């Protein structure tokens, strides 16, 4: 078998000799043979496929330790691993993009509450929560005010109290004074208070053990909304006739979809679709997603518990949000739709329209 010198192999694989020496030291891509006299590394032509795979994964920015893991897998196992990594990259990029925009505005001493649209804006809003047709009690909480929009979906024996406590912890933001540039920091601090409040009602005693709540909320500043999200309640944006989900479910099933193990269609009926990976409550991972959203006149936001999103198809949500102009009428029709499909869960929603002040 004719072996290739490190220079020839580097040119063919598009990896530098320096990188090849590093990968040899790490055990990621050892040469076929090392000349005992000269110490030159010699590679087999059959190693080119693996070398090119390493080069491609490095272009993705994948860490070397993770590349070593992927290269040790069979192709059928490597595919979901690469998908999982890229989903993480996209989520991280989105979060950093929002932070970069915020920092540019902050450092240029531009009011982060001002967007390209200089027209003063306000919101029209409505909130509604309903027990549904199957559950004996309502563990959801929905709230809408001039600055705060929130939906919490409690679970466990103290779920109703946990959800209410989380939202109550955010309500002081309605009247609190803070600089627009501190929007995300203020919301993050409020979430910490919400965690403490939920732990206070859901973390003590055997009757409350295993209780907690999701939380999806928005804080309004005039032309920006700061979004906090934990769990599987959702936030949607209707803009120019298109409906976008702007939150990512923190559930076991969603992680399986992200990993490529199941399809979104299979997730709808999966037996573990309600299993949360993040929530507020004792012993739960309460790490929130925090983001900024620029508002535009004509935008419509929907916050809802899974009693709506898991029952009513996205096309029907878009129809109601598009055709029913009044927020109060819209929340009533959305709840009515969920109950029309059997109302298997508590259902809560908030609809807020961005309008000229």
205: pLDDT strictly greater than 60: no
Sign for the pseudo-dihedral over CA of 341, 227, 281, 249: positive
More confident residue, 242 or 274: 242
Residues of the chain with pLDDT > 90: what percent?
A: 54
Contact 348, 308 (CB under 8 A): yes
The DSSP 8-state label assigned to residue 283 in this structure reads T
Residue whose C-alpha is closest to residue 217's, from 150, 299, 153, 129: 150
The token pair at 86 is 């890229």
114: pLDDT strictly greater than 50: no
pLDDT of residue 166: 97
Alpha-carbon distance of 266 to 73, in angstroms, equals 25
Is 178 exposed, middle or buried (CB count within 10 Å of its CB: 0-12, 13-18, 19+)?
A: middle
Mention every residue, 6+ apart, whose C-beta is less than 8 A from residue 155: 139, 162, 211, 212, 213, 276, 279
pLDDT of residue 151: 98
Alpha-carbon distance of 288 to 297, in angstroms, equals 28
Alpha-carbon distance of 275 to 251, in angstroms, equals 6
Residues of the chain with pLDDT > 70: what percent?
A: 89
Alpha-carbon distance of 314 to 112, in angstroms, equals 32
The DSSP 8-state label assigned to residue 172 in this structure reads G
Alpha-carbon distance of 303 to 145, in angstroms, equals 13
Give the tens place of pLDDT for each residue, 116-166: 445 678 899 999 999 999 999 999 999 999 999 999 999 999 999 999 999
Is 20 exposed, middle or buried (CB count within 10 Å of its CB: 0-12, 13-18, 19+)?
A: buried
Q: Give the DSSP H or E segment for 20.
A: helix 17-26
Alpha-carbon distance of 96 to 78, in angstroms, equals 27
Q: Give the DSSP H or E segment for 325.
A: none
Alpha-carbon distance of 161 to 81, in angstroms, equals 39
Going from the C-alpha of 135 to that of each of 132, 159, 282, 307, 344, the distances in angstroms are 6, 13, 24, 11, 7
Q: Give the DSSP H or E segment for 84.
A: helix 75-107
Distance, first Cα to last Cα, the chain = 78
Give the tens place of pLDDT for each residue, 287-318: 899 888 788 899 999 999 999 999 999 999 99
On average, the pLDDT of the chain sits at: 87
Contact 231, 275 (CB under 8 A): no
The DSSP 8-state label assigned to residue 133 in this structure reads S
Q: Where are the alpha helices (DSSP H) in 155-282?
A: 159-170, 183-202, 252-258, 264-268
Give the tens place of pLDDT for each residue, 74-112: 989 999 889 888 887 877 676 666 556 656 655 554 444
């Amino acid at each position: 078998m004719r072996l290739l010198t490190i220079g020839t192999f580097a040119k063919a694989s598009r990896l530098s000799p320096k990188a090849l020496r590093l990968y040899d030291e790490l055990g990621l891509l050892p040469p076929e043979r090392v000349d005992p006299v000269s110490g030159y590394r010699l590679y087999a032509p059959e190693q080119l496929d693996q070398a090119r795979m390493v080069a491609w994964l490095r272009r993705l920015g994948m860490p070397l330790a993770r590349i070593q893991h992927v290269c040790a897998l069979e192709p059928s196992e490597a595919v979901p691993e690469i998908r999982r990594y890229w989903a993480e990259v996209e989520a991280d990029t989105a979060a950093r993009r929002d932070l970069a925009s915020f920092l540019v505005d902050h450092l240029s001493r531009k009011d982060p509450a001002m967007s390209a649209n200089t027209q003063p804006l306000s919101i029209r809003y409505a909130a509604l929560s309903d027990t549904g047709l199957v559950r004996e009690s309502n563990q959801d909480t929905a709230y809408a005010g001039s600055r705060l929009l929130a939906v919490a979906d409690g679970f466990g024996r103290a779920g109703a109290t946990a959800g209410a406590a989380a939202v109550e912890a955010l309500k002081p933001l309605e009247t609190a004074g803070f600089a627009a540039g501190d929007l995300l920091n203020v919301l993050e601090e409020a979430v910490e208070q919400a965690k403490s409040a939920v732990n206070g009602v859901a973390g003590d005693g055997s009757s409350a053990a295993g209780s907690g709540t999701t939380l999806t909320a928005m804080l309004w500043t005039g032309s920006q909304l700061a979004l906090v999200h934990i769990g599987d309640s959702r936030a949607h944006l209707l803009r120019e006739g298109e409906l976008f989900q702007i939150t990512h479910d923190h559930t076991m099933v969603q992680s399986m979809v992200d990993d490529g193990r199941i399809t979104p269609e299979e997730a709808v009926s999966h037996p573990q679709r309600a299993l949360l990976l993040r929530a507020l409550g004792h012993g739960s991972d309460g790490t929130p997603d925090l983001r900024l959203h620029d508002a535009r006149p004509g935008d419509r936001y929907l916050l809802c518990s899974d009693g709506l999103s898991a029952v009513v198809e996205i096309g029907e949500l878009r129809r109601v949000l598009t055709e029913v102009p009044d927020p109060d009428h819209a929340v009533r029709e959305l709840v009515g739709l969920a109950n029309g499909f059997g109302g298997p869960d508590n259902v809560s929603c908030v609809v807020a329209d961005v309008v000229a002040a």
